[in-house]
Amino acid sequence: MSFDFLVVGAGVAGMRAAISLAEQGTVLVVAKDSIEESSTEYAQGGIAVALSDDDNFSLHLQDTLLAGDGLCFEPAVEALVQEGPARIEELLKWGANFDKENGQFLMAREGAHSRSRVLHAGGDSTGHEIARALFETATSLPNLSFQSFAAVTDLLMNDGQVTGAVAYDQKTRRRVDVYAKSVLLATGGAGQLYLNTTNPTVATADGIGIAYRVGAEVADVEFVQFHPTALFIPGRPRFLLSEALRGEGAILRNVHGDRFMQRYHPMEDLAPRDVVSRSIIAEMRATGATHVLLDLSHKDADWIRHRFPTIYETCLRFGIDLTKQAAPVHPAAHYIMGGVRTDLHGQTSVPGLFAAGEAACAGVHGANRLASNSLLEGVVFGARAGEAMIGSKEKSKAGRTFGDEQFPILTREQLQQLAWDGCGIVRDAAGISNVLQAIDKGGRENISEPNRKDYERRNLATVLRLVAKAAFERKESRGGHYRTDFPNKQEPPLHSSVRRGHGTKLISWPVSTSATS
């Protein structure tokens, strides 16, 4: 089958790009699961944007740069904060409903923000509301088609350019070639690399793995953000307890009921996420506990139920009433700051291949993402990528599948345990080396009829190796990457860069473009 444009992923970045593309040609949006299943759906906290009277672009810029710990690409951050308000207006026009009080938007404050600038919807269902508005807009466009339960496994190449992709149809168990002038990877994150994660099961680093195999540059994947507060119920998925809880006054306590964040950072409970996650790990070790406590019980009960309805109801199902008791929490993998390196318009180092959202790395987040900047990145850079793809040149349909038909023998659970132990919140050379050695010793095998889980496992193994290699090369601690054997920062700040056949190195990014270009 053939379309003008192929969008892989139906989250906020992919859907926003598809809306622009549908004005100029035929578009196919491919989703690995249902169209509704993406990380966007699970984004609780909100979307950060400088809209209030006491806020401005420069303040949002500075907060983002500070959280990014020296590695943000400033032109990308400028694009994010300056174009954010226009993208919010767009969402409003398309029917998104953000929470208001007395006709004014409610703006929450979250960790590491100097102002209250986080819009939310339904209290704690912001991602769902944005996804709904984008999906309803997209489905009204005649040029736009959707294909669910189809996992893109590889790219089609011709003379060094991407000419389409190969999709595995789970219903027919067949692989289908899809040709397009350009392909956008908006596949979301890599949380399923880790044993403990807030991410949905579809977040298996697919875009990064697929792009790496065709020679695209991958950057900064060692920087993984671990959310400090995932609900800790043994044997249950790690449900995210939004940072907005602490923004609204929730307090972290150890198992003895004592506050502890004042011992670790001057911003206490509102410190950057990497600091809070490491502080929780340190407190757990000091007390010999499996978790700490997040306490909101001092707030008004009706307010809690209204402000955080989904979180409140979910905790209640596990026997925890947030109006009366603290919730047990433990850090979990949440967001990967790195990804397929792109310019400010989503173009990767491979012609015809674009990336946006969490799968991409334009340098917005640096070494540590500022809370609630991810949804904003999705709409801003999804729009930018869509506009850039419109100018893609027509390409020949002739192509070859650029994939690797060998699959790792290690199971998903084994890979996740390796990642958690060796490339988790706290790292060192021995742990990282163990990850690389275990993947090598694990071996690979041919599978005559691979299924979706096999393809996901291949991507997880590929990207875990990239994370480990970059983490080993980065002999410093910065942002979401913390090494006990190299606890200090090295100057100047450098980005990790890895391409197939070229090894892993640390480089600087020349500032050769502007946010408005």
Active site residues: 273
Q: Distance between CA atoms of 53 and 50, rounded to whole angstroms?
A: 9
273 phi/psi in degrees, rounded to 5: -60, -40
Q: Closest by alpha carbon to 151, among 187, 180, 184, 127?
A: 187
In terms of residues, how long is the chain?
517
3-state SS of 250-302? CEEECCCCCECHHHCCCCHHHCCHHHHHHHHHHHHHHHCCCCEEEECCCCCHH
Return the residue matching tokens 């810029």. 61
321 phi/psi in degrees, rounded to 5: -95, 105
Spatial contact of 144 and 17, defined as CB atoms under 8 Å apart: no
Q: Distance between CA atoms of 342 and 324, rounded to whole angstroms?
A: 47
Q: Distance between CA atoms of 202 and 362, rounded to whole angstroms?
A: 22
Q: Distance between CA atoms of 94 and 103, rounded to whole angstroms?
A: 19
SS3 60: helix
Spatial contact of 494 and 504, defined as CB atoms under 8 Å apart: no
Q: Closest by alpha carbon to 383, among 50, 18, 41, 42?
A: 18
DSSP 508: P
**Amino acid type, 432:** I
Spatial contact of 218 and 498, defined as CB atoms under 8 Å apart: yes
Q: Distance between CA atoms of 3 and 180, rounded to whole angstroms?
A: 5
Q: Which residues, in sequence order, are bridge partners of residue 446? A: 406
Tell me whether residue 184 is exposed, middle or buried, using C-beta atoms within 10 angstroms of its C-beta: 0 to 12, 13 to 18, 19 or more. buried
* β pairing state of 174-179 and 161-169: antiparallel
**Could you give the C-alpha distances from 76 to 79, 332, 349, 377, 516, in angstroms and in order?**
5, 27, 17, 10, 10
Q: Distance between CA atoms of 23 and 336, rounded to whole angstroms?
A: 31
Q: How many CA atoms lie within 13 A of 5 on its CB side?
A: 31
Kindly report the number of other CB atoms within 10 A of residue 114's CB atom: 13
